[in-house]
């Protein structure tokens, strides 16, 4: 059984460098046999949070929200690709994530951060650990931090130079960690219903 993994990306900027990392992760996870799919917050286009998915009467949520809720419910694990805006998370990704709650429960999540500079988005990545834990996900300890992104991945999401080689090496542990928790969570859910 292949792992169903959703890779979430949330920049709304016109010159989006982080999409390189999102595409790299989708390709890398697929190469390992996972069913990885990119969920681009800008393409989904949810409005600023007014009502959460669960606050709509059944069957009345906007179609993009309903479709995404179904994808989240059917996924085994999640990867959140986050840039850093003023030491914090991207508002587009946070907004998309906040539309849902119970749909996230009892699945592992991993965080990959990036920036144009040398700090590689780690301050935002650290914040995401708390956010995702609060939303009912098990956040794996392995992370990826990529920066400067333009010197690590080219426009086609291919690793370049020494930074790209380091990313390739780090990806193996990151993916192994996520795969282990994905298998463990799926087995436990099959054995015993979650407590709430």
- Topology of domain 4-191, CATH: Rossmann fold (3.40.50)
Per-position b or e across 45-62, b if 16+ CB within 10 A of its CB:
ebeeeeeebeeeeeeebe
The DSSP line for 79-115 is EEEE-EETTEE-HHHHHHHHT-SGGGTT-EEEEEEE-
**Per-residue pLDDT averaged across 20-27, rounded?**
98
pTM metric for this prediction = 0.96
The pLDDT score that the predictor gives to residue 105 is 96
Q: Which residue has the tokens 């192994």?
A: 176
Q: Which residue has the tokens 């059984």?
A: 1
Kindly report, residue by residue over 130-159, the tens digit of the pLDDT: 999 999 999 999 999 999 999 999 999 999
**Per-residue pLDDT averaged across 59-81, rounded?**
97
**Per-residue pLDDT averaged across 37-55, rounded?**
97
Does the structure show a pLDDT above 90 at 119?
no
The pLDDT score that the predictor gives to residue 116 is 87
Are the CB atoms for 129 and 139 separated by under 8 Å?
yes
Q: Residues of the chain with pLDDT > 70: what percent?
A: 100
N- to C-terminal Cα separation, the chain: 26
């Amino acid at each position: 059984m292949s792992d169903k993994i959703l890779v979430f990306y949330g920049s709304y900027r016109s010159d989006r460098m982080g999409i390189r990392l999102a595409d790299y992760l989708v390709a890398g996870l697929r190469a390992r046999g996972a069913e990885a799919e990119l969920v681009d917050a800008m393409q989904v286009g949810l409005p600023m949070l007014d009502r959460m998915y669960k606050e709509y009467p059944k069957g009345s949520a906007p179609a993009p929200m309903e479709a995404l809720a179904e994808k989240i419910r059917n996924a085994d694990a999640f990867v959140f690709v986050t840039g850093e805006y003023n030491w914090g998370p991207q508002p587009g990704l946070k907004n998309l994530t906040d539309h849902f709650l119970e749909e996230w429960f009892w699945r592992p999540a991993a965080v990959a951060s990036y920036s144009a500079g040398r700090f590689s988005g780690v301050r935002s990545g650290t914040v995401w650990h708390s956010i995702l834990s609060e939303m009912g996900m098990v956040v794996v300890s392995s992370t990826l931090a990529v920066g400067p992104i333009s010197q690590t991945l080219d426009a086609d999401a291919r690793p370049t130079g020494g930074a790209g080689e380091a990313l390739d090496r780090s990806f193996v542990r990151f993916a192994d960690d996520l795969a282990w928790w994905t298998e463990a969570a799926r087995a436990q859910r099959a054995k015993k219903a979650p407590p709430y």
